[in-house]
Amino acid sequence: MRRGEQRKLYVAILAAGKAKRMNSNRSKVLHEVAGKPLLFFPLKVAKSLNPEKIFVVVGGPFMDQIVDFLKDEPVEIVVQEEPKGTGDAVKRLEKHIGGEEADLFVMPGDAPLLTEKTAKELVEFHRSRGAYATVLTAEVPDPTGYGRIVRSVGDRILMIVEEADAFPEEKAIKEVNSGMYVFYVPVLFQYIHEIRPDNRQGEYYLTDIIEILQRRMGNVFAHKIEDWEEILGVNTREQLGIVNRIMLKRIINYMLENGVSMVDPDKVYIEAEVKIGRDVTLYPFVALLGKTEIGDNSVIGPGIVLKDKRVKANSIIFSLSDLEEN
């Protein structure tokens, strides 16, 4: 393997968790952020990488819901019959790509804030280092619940220690694992069978492969990003609300930068697939949902809620009757 070598790229999205803390009759990855299921966003990032194939690992009581959501997507479903952890989930891919001269990008299905730019930079970093494994990391204000990054020298990693298994000095580390990795496939599947469920959860942690590869092969790296919000995942409804606020702020800022005026940006709600033309003005308490499109030079008045509507250019909408005339 040579540094900078171009190889096939595969993507695996892990979506087989139980998510008991959501207390829901719906899969965690189908709960919505900015009007779209959580899984929509990592899938969008995966597509932007133009991989050979996208795998989605599913399992658990809500598996059928996820499969139904993905029925029209260009993905291959991989079933994890029992929830034995992320290491076991990735092991299921061996029969699909094991032995190929390729890289595998692994990402969770419940982390919607990763940007396409960061994903591409992670792959480029991995290949430029001639790495066998690269972990996306960030320093977070409160690392509680995250696996801690124990570094070696420079960008190299010794191991990732899970919160439940960390000593006090390890818990003090603020650089954490995002759950997003790029692996060199031949080496990954050569050593993934060495992972053991020797932890309090009795699961096969994918994080353990980092220490195994570092010990066996070396060339295991961390790619740390500045914007720690990109790695935020969702395990509770409180976290879902936090991620929703961040996503809405991104959407609002994008619209402002691209020619949309808002009388009070903090009082406007815009979902992920909404399209707005230039020189549109939005008044407070406007909510634009679904696949709504607003034409150039339009004005949307206070309190208007539009879902899957198309508003022609130069329209002025201050009541539902204005919308009907439009």
The helix-helix angle for 116-128 and 40-48 (nearest 10°) equals 50
Q: Token digits for 204?
A: 């096969």
Specify the 3-state DSSP secondary structure of 105: strand
Grade residue 4 by pLDDT with cuts at 50, 70 and 90: low
CATH match of 258-325 with 2.160.10.10: yes
Alpha-carbon distance of 323 to 326, in angstroms, equals 5
- Is the pLDDT assigned to residue 1 strictly greater than 70? no
Residue percentage of the chain with pLDDT more than 70: 97
Mean pLDDT of 212-221: 95
pLDDT of residue 21: 83
189: which 2 tokens? Answer: 């599947």
Please report the DSSP string for 228-280 in residue order. Answer: GGGG---SSHHHHHHHHHHHHHHHHHHHHHTTEEES-GGG-EE-TT-EE-TTE
Give Cα separations from 308 to 37, 102, 288 (angstroms).
17, 41, 8
How far is the CA of 227 from the CAs of 45, 116, 141, 168, in angstroms?
17, 13, 11, 26
- Contact criterion met (CB below 8 Å) for 28 and 22: yes
- The position carrying tokens 């499109």 is 293
Q: Which of 217, 185, 218, 192 is nearest to 207 (CA)?
A: 192
Domain residue ranges of the chain, discontinuous segments joined by +: 8-231, 258-325
Distance CA 249, CA 246 (A): 5
**Joined tokens for residue 181:** 């990795």
pLDDT at 2 over 80: no
The residue among 243, 257, 275 whose CA lies nearest residue 42 is 243
Question: DSSP character for 316?
Answer: E
What six digits make up the tokens of 162? 């899970």
Provide CB contacts within 8 A for 201, sequence distance 6+: 85, 164
Which pair of tokens denotes residue 252? 């609002």
* Predicted local distance difference test score (pLDDT) of residue 165: 83
Q: Which positions ≥6 away from 25 have C-beta within 8 Å?
A: none
Q: Is the pLDDT confidence value at 198 over 70?
A: yes
Question: Residue 307: beta bridge partners?
Answer: 289
Provide the pLDDT for residue 3: 66
- Could you tell me how far CA 281 lies from the centroid of its own chain? 32
Confidence of residue 109 (pLDDT cuts 50, 70, 90): very high
Summarize the confidence of residues 241-250 as an average pLDDT.
Answer: 98
Query: What's the predicted TM-score (pTM) here?
Result: 0.94
Cα 18 to chain centroid distance, Å, stands at 17
Could you count the other beta carbons within 10 Å of the beta carbon of residue 254? Answer: 12
Average pLDDT of the chain is 94
**What's the number of CA atoms in the CB half-sphere (13 Å) around residue 289?**
8
For domain 8-231, the CATH class is: alpha beta
pLDDT band for 184, please (50, 70, 90 cuts): very high
pLDDT value of position 9: 97
* Per-residue pLDDT tens over the stretch 116-139: 999 999 999 999 999 999 999 999
Phi, psi at 103, each rounded to 5°: -110, 150
| Among candidate residues 266, 255, 254, 268, the one with its CA nearest the CA of residue 306 | 268
